[in-house]
Structure 1
Amino acid sequence: MPEQTFPPGYVPFADVRESLPEPRRVQVSESVALETLHLPGPDPPIVFVHGGLGSLWNPYPQLAAFEGERELVAYALAGNGNSTARPEQSLDGHVADLRDLLDELGVDRPIVHGHSYGTAVAIEYAKRHPTAGVVLHAGGDHDLTPAWEKPLLRLFLTLRLYRFPANDALVRQLAYSVGFHDETSRAVVEDFLQSNPLPHRRSAWTTVTEAFWGYDGRSDVDRVDVPTLVVHGPADGIVPVRVARETAGRLPDSVFCRVQRTGHVAMIERPSVYNSLLRAHVQCVRDGRDIETAVRDWAREDGSSTEFTHD
């Protein structure tokens, strides 16, 4: 087991949480209000969409790094966190919620950053609405559900196990076994889990089963015709690396990056490298450059070619 120390320069979740304002509920439709953190800053804005059973706080290293540098939005999907539940769970509904939220906040043409199942929201949003860029992390346009997930979630829903705090231990063990690279510090894993406690609302679990299971956006994914950064970890035990690589291959303007020594949450495991990739992507969007060229040039100048592979 890796030692329980934070890597140099790592900012713990508690410090980030204390330094940022309290999220507020934003009414986006007659029936839906979304728990939202909105931080002012220059364009292009970055909007973070969390994955299944996730939290608006999941990208805390990015919120800390980009505060004041970019306009930032992080929110809890309907039915998750302190957001209200949707009358009906569907991917289309979550995409509509995001569009309504950005309208309420006055955010136009964002970079939409999706993590895990959140990549489905990011992809479908970018197909339908003006977007400056897209970041897909630990996901893609198909095969987002591992074989073990369906029986596990069905068991939790049938027996209502999500109501019992004792089952946090099961989720913690699952995170260690499939979510992280084996060289990732135990302190980092536990810190991430602090940002993402096990949801005890049924609606958070049905967000996964009813809105995301079976997602396949391959047929028209080429409509995402904006610079797209596709980032994956080689030790991801939830979404296979091939899904991200194949997704990048179908997108008109994309680059696939594999961040070394990471699993399903490279943004937490290697935040310095991950944030540098995001900055290269932002610069590409601002300068109107080809994303693959921008990332290759950045890696050459930064000397980070040993930290990730790109193609």
Structure 2
Amino acid sequence: MVESRPVFGQVQRRLPDPSLVEVRAGVSLDTLHAAGPGPTVVFVHGGLGNLWNFYPQLDRFYGHRELVAYSLAGNGRSADRGSHTLSGHVSDLADLLAALGIDRPVLVGWSYGTALAVEYAKTHPVAALLLTAGGAYGLTPAWEWPVLKLVTALHLYRVLPGGETLKFLAKRAMLHQATPDAVVDDLLRSNPLPRRASAWRTVTDAFWGYDGRPGLETITCPALVVHGPADRVVPMKVARATAQLLPHGQFHELDHAGHVTLAEQPEAFAQLLDSLITRADVS
């Protein structure tokens, strides 16, 4: 039986329109906020991403949970914050949730977003934590730093390729070989390469070289680390070790997935998130 997969354009039309939420003077974050029962599920995207990275999960949980997805400062339609530090982005998230009146969310971080989710959970109440395609360290492949620096230094983000070239690179670097072309096309529609220098600086300035293993013992909420065996960006051992270091961490290997678990296996990922939410409800 072929799994029915959400289509980005249809999901985007079905969900509420995002709006700019001011978190401090001069900094507004492009935010999708959908009403529903608690606990609130908050999605934190990765490097060069935006709030629509989680469209399969937004579609799956819309109407069933209160949902928040936002573009980090300097990404998507969000304002640039001038300087990009991990602590600054954690403060942005805290201010955003305060502005929306949300406390103790279920926090879902993807790729570099796992670093932000981990650091937020160290210093703020969290009902549960889900990390996917990332972990508490080892998020930067060796080839990434020179590529990102070259792109920003020469302003190549203005002329980077799309279409079949980008699709080929995505399949070679990030995805399971069996991921259908239709899914890859939809991923690229939801997350075209950003043409803003600030999105690229977010990675190089805030996330590169992250090591958040000190302090993981303070995160005492239920935690789940999900990883695809075909992930060629972040090693599986990083995810396993992160789960072991979290006091209530569990690890799950999601078959037939690479670096984009939440879209490559959307229903399996949603079931894992649903199970974690149940743990948060009763904890």
Aligned: 1:156 with 2:162:
no
TM-score of the pair, normalised by structure 2: 0.97
Match of 1:267 in 2: 262
Cα deviation code 1:106-129 (max 9, x no counterpart): 111101100000000100000000
Match of 2:115 in 1: 120
Matching of residue 193 in structure 1 with residue 206 in structure 2: no
- After superposing on structure 2, the runs of 4+ consecutive aligned residues of structure 1 that deviate more than 6 Å are none
SS at match of 1:230: strand
Whole-angstrom CA distance in 2 between matches of 1:181 and 1:174: 12
Measured after TM superposition, the shift of residue 174 of structure 1 is 2.5
Report the 3-state secondary structure (helix = DSSP H, G, I; strand = E; otherwise coil) of the residue aligned with 1:218: coil
Unaligned regions of 5+ residues in structure 2, if any?
A: none
The residue aligned with 1:25 is: 20
Partner residue in 1 for 2:86: 91
Distance 1:245 1:125, change over 3 A: same
Taking the TM superposition and a 5 Å limit, the aligned residue runs for 1:5-44 are 7-44=2-39
1:168 is displaced (CA, Å) by 6.2
Give SS of 1:60's match: helix
2:127 maps to 1:137: no
Alignment of 1:100-119 (within 5 A): 100-119=95-114
Shift of 1:165: 4.8
Structure 2 residue 230 is the aligned partner of structure 1 residue 235: yes
- Give the C-alpha shift of residue 101 in structure 1: 0.1
CA distance in 2, matches of 1:230, 1:31: 35
For residue 230 of structure 2, give the secondary structure of its aligned residue in structure 1: coil
Is the deviation greater in 188-197 or in 156-165?
Answer: 156-165
Query: 1:88 Cα shift?
Result: 1.2
1:250 aligns with 2:245: yes
1:170-195 per-position Cα deviation (integer Å, ceiling 9, x unaligned): 54332111210001111111111111
Residues 84, 206 of structure 2: 8 Å contact kept: yes
Query: CA offsets, 1:238-279, max 9 Å, x none?
Result: 000000000001000011000001000111011111101111
Q: Determine helix, strand or coil for the equivalent of 2:148.
A: helix
Residue 238 of structure 2 corresponds to residue 282 of structure 1: no
1:170/1:221 CA distance change after superposition, 3 Å = farther
Distance 2:166 2:215 in 1: 35
Cα displacement string for residues 65-122 of structure 1 (whole angstroms, at most 9, x for unaligned residues): 1001110000000000000001211000000000000000011110110000000010
For 2:210 and 2:133, locate their aligned partners in 1 and report how far apart those are by CA, in whole Å. 15
The corresponding residue for 2:52 is 57
The question of 1:182 aligning with 2:177 is answered yes
Question: Once superposed, what is the RMSD of the aligned Cα atoms?
Answer: 1.3
SS in 1 for 2:231: coil
Which residue identity is paired with 1:18?
A: R
Deviation at 1:169, TM superposition (A): 5.5
